């Protein structure tokens, strides 16, 4: 039995009536949660499936099915709603899923998969309606029983990759994170990100339950997430206030919306004591702006391949501008070229591929950074994203982008300049006093940004994006990282035109 389930039994015996899971419709105490999990595990045993998919909205039913798979030893494959149909079909076929538990059967049945699918009559779990979508083939991958979970990471290019995680890794990361943050039994965590995201899966379910705290699992629409492109921060702050939430996990883009809402004085969030921020680079200025508003912000860093969190700032050990200290089970070092190398409780490789570890057991993260004298980790960019200007200067675009998006006139930015004498940016305008920022305001924001950048990193010209970078248009990953190749392909002609125009101007001069 996993450490999480053992602890769940302890809470059910010692604090049976304490709230474990809740949403706007129901609350489930620890005693009832244990019963529900055991009942569903019996169902899984009788079905004899070895690999199941989970495609459901955030809610107690999601957590119950997840926990039940750990009792039976079934491999769970969370299927993110933000995946395209093509990505979902790939994950299903790639992992050999035999049965999908879903509250959205129509989408599952419409996927372009080669196997025949059929669904059961609707069933109930923790107040939620769900269906079983069965796949007409026996699993080709019986060896997957060694893995508790396969989480598909969309990455920045290519098809999603299945990250294979053992129960031991999930337990180790969850316990380390719970201890580092100092979660208390009185805490209430609100899941804002989809539970199919490994970070929220661990931080939003496992960590609260380990501590005997409460996990509030509301549908994403009830915390402000409207599809893949729209976020209603006021809706989220209402949920935080209504349930007296003490902790949440946000990406930088969601934090931007939260800060805007708090800044105009529409919400008071006194109950919050821990806001974890991760998934993508965070601007130091945005962090400072949030802290000035009294928001308890703690930046962290992690990857699915490391079982999620690698390092995090905590109330006890906090240094703004860093992603915190590595968790105790992590062995971390910096390569000569600045790449972050990690060992410890890692993944067991990508599905159907050999584990990409060095001889001494370290995994190359692809991220660049350094450890300061106090042991705090600094992230400086992605190794493969660094471009070299025609003057031979190395530029980490994430650094420049984080400075650009500090300014309210700029919501998102993507910087390019490979083999060019100066840099360009694709800009998604921000909002100023309830309206979209105009060209003059964006020009001023870029000018202010350039004042703090060295000349080789400054932005000399820019274009306006056709629409925000999002998961829907494939220009963002599920964790909020920019898909640079997709953005470049979409805007290449317009960017090239900027350079051509400048070259013609120089000739005429």
pLDDT confidence of residue 431: 83
Residues 6+ apart with CB under 8 A from 388: 394, 395, 418, 419
CATH number at residue 476: 3.30.300.30
**Could you give the CA distance from residue 106 to residue 84 in angstroms, rounded to a whole number?**
14
Q: Is 400 exposed, middle or buried (0-12, 13-18, 19+ CB in 10 A)?
A: buried
For residue 368, the cross-strand partners are 339, 381
**Domain for residue 432, yes or no?**
yes
Flag whether 1 is in a domain: no
Q: Residue 331 and residue 328: Cα distance in Å, rounded?
A: 8
Contacts 24+ apart (CB under 8 A), 427-434: 427/462, 427/463, 427/464, 427/465, 428/464, 428/465, 428/467, 428/468, 428/469, 429/464, 430/405, 431/260, 432/408
Assigned domain for 127 exists:
no
Half-sphere exposure of residue 49: CA atoms within 13 angstroms, side-chain side? 25
Instruction: Summarize pLDDT for 478-503 with one digit per residue, the tens.
Output: 777 888 999 999 999 999 999 887 75
Q: DSSP character for 481?
A: -
Profile the chain (509 residues) by mean pLDDT over runs of 10 residues. Answer: 90 97 94 95 92 95 96 94 85 90 88 62 67 68 76 72 94 96 97 95 98 96 76 91 96 84 75 91 79 93 94 95 95 94 91 79 92 94 86 86 88 92 94 87 95 90 93 80 90 92 51
**Residue 461 is part of which domain span?**
386-508
DSSP assignments along 365-417, one per residue: EEEEEEE-TTS-EEEEEEGGG-EE-TTS-EE-HHHHHHHHTTSTTEEEEEEE-
pLDDT for 408: 83
pLDDT for the residue 371: 97
CA 254-260-265 angle, 5° bins: 130
| Predicted pLDDT at 131 | 81
The answer to whether 219 and 86 are in contact (CB under 8 A) is no
Task: Locate 77 and state its tokens.
Answer: 């494959």
The C-alpha atoms of residue 66 and residue 56 are separated, in whole angstroms, by: 11
| Predicted TM-score (pTM) of this structure | 0.84
pLDDT in tens, 405-445: 888 899 899 999 988 989 999 999 988 877 899 999 999 99
Do the domain assignments include residue 463? yes
Residues 189 and 214: beta-carbon distance below 8 Å: yes
Report how far residue 499's alpha carbon sits from residue 508's, in angstroms, rounded to the nearest whole number. 14
The whole-number pLDDT of residue 321 equals 87
pLDDT of residue 13: 96
Q: Is 479 contained in some domain?
A: yes
Distance CA 91, CA 316 (A): 40
For residue 102, being part of any structural domain is answered with: no
Tokens representing 451? 């004042």
> What is the number of domains present in the chain?
1
In angstroms, rounded to a whole number, what is the distance separating the alpha carbons of residues 308 and 207? 12
Q: Identify the pLDDT of residue 268.
A: 73
Query: Residue 394 domain-assigned?
Result: yes
In a domain? residue 3: no
Determine the Cα–Cα distance for residues 471 and 494; give it in Å rounded to an integer: 22
Contacts of 34 (CB under 8 A, 6+ apart): 8, 9, 12
Sort 302 into a burial class: Cβ within 10 Å, 0-12 / 13-18 / 19+. buried
């Amino acid at each position: 039995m996993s450490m999480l389930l053992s602890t769940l039994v302890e809470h059910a015996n010692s604090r049976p009536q304490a709230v474990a899971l809740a949403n706007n419709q129901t609350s489930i105490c620890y005693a009832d949660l244990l019963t529900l999990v055991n009942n569903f595990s019996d169902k899984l045993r009788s079905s004899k499936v070895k690999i199941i998919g989970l495609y459901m909205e955030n809610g107690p039913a999601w957590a119950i099915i997840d926990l039940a798979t750990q009792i039976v030893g079934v491999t769970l494959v969370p299927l993110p709603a933000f995946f395209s149909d093509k990505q979902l079909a790939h994950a299903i076929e790639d992992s050999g899923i035999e049965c999908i538990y879903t509250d959205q059967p129509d989408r599952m049945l419409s996927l372009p998969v080669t196997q025949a699918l059929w669904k059961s009559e609707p069933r109930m779990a923790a107040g939620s309606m769900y269906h079983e979508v069965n796949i007409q083939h026996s699993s080709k991958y019986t060896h997957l029983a060694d893995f508790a979970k396969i989480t598909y990471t969309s990455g920045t290019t290519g098809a999603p990759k299945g990250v294979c995680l053992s129960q031991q890794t999930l337990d180790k990361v969850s316990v380390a994170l719970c201890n580092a943050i100092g979660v208390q039994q009185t805490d209430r965590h609100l899941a804002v990100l989809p539970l199919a995201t490994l970070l929220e899966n661990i931080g939003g379910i496992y960590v609260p339950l380990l501590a005997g705290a409460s996990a509030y699992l509301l549908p994403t629409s009830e915390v402000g997430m409207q599809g893949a492109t729209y976020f209603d921060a006021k809706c989220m702050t209402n949920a935080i206030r209504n349930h007296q939430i003490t902790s949440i996990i946000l990406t930088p883009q969601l934090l931007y919306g939260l800060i805007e809402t708090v800044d105009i004085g529409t919400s008071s969030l006194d109950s919050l004591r821990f806001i974890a921020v991760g998934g993508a680079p965070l601007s130091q200025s945005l962090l400072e702006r949030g802290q000035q508003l009294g928001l308890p912000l703690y930046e962290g860093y992690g990857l699915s391949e490391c079982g999620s969190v690698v390092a995090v700032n905590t109330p006890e050990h906090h240094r703004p501008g860093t992603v915190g200290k590595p968790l105790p089970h992590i062995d971390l070092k910096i390569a000569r070229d600045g790449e972050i190398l990690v060992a410890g409780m890692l993944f067991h490789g990508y599905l159907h591929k050999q584990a990409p570890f060095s001889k001494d057991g370290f995994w190359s993260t692809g991220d660049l950074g350094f450890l300061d004298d106090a042991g705090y980790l600094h992230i400086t960019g992605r190794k493969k994203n660094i471009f070299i200007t025609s003057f031979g200067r190395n530029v980490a675009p994430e650094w420049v982008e984080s400075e650009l998006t500090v300014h309210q006139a700029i919501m998102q930015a993507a910087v390019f300049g490979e083999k060019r004498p100066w840099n360009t940016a694709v800009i998604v305008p921000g909002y100023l006093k309830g309206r979209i920022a105009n060209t003059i305001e964006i020009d001023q924001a870029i000018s202010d940004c350039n004042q703090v950048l060295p000349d080789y990193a400054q932005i000399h010209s820019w274009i306006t994006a056709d629409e925000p970078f999002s998961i829907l248009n494939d220009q963002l990953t599920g964790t909020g990282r920019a898909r640079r190749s997709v953005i470049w392909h979409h805007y290449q002609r317009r960017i090239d035109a900027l350079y051509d125009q400048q070259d013609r101007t120089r000739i005429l001069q």
